[in-house]
């Protein structure tokens, strides 16, 4: 949607949303989904992806950190959420 077109995110043109039920977490499914998505984006020439997550979700933040995501500074959001991004390359490190 147009409301998602935030100029500060132009370098991360793809948007990611992923949720796994608790019983499926910690079993490698998230990593496989992430690798599949990043590979598909890279194949299509998409250079980077971003996501928005609640700051309170510490386990998710740890997962995204392991997946190579970094905080994107300067994105206008309230303090309850953080915007993270990463390039679609470097899948061999996942």
Q: Render pLDDT for 31-70 as a digit per residue (tens, 0 to 9).
A: 999 999 999 999 999 999 999 999 999 999 999 999 999 9
> Any idea what the CATH number is for the domain that residue 18 is in?
3.40.630.30
- Reply yes or no on whether the pLDDT at 17 is more than 80: yes
- Percent of the chain at pLDDT > 70 equals 96
Domain of 41, in residue numbers: 2-93
Give the pLDDT confidence score for residue 41 in this predicted structure.
96
Can you tell me whether residue 11 is helix, strand or coil?
coil
pTM: 0.88
Query: Using only C-alpha atoms, what is the Rg of the chain?
Result: 13
Candidates 7, 3, 14; CA nearest to 86 is 14
Give the count of domains, the chain: 1
């Amino acid at each position: 949607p147009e409301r998602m077109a935030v100029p500060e995110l132009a370098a991360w043109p793809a948007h990611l949303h992923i949720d796994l039920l608790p019983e499926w977490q910690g079993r490698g499914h998230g990593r496989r989904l992430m690798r599949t998505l990043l590979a598909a984006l890279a194949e299509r020439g998409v250079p980077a992806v971003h996501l928005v997550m609640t700051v309170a979700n510490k386990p998710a933040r740890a997962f995204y950190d392991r997946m190579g995501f970094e905080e994107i500074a300067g994105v206008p959001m309230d303090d309850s959420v953080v915007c993270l991004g990463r390039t679609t390359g470097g899948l061999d490190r996942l």
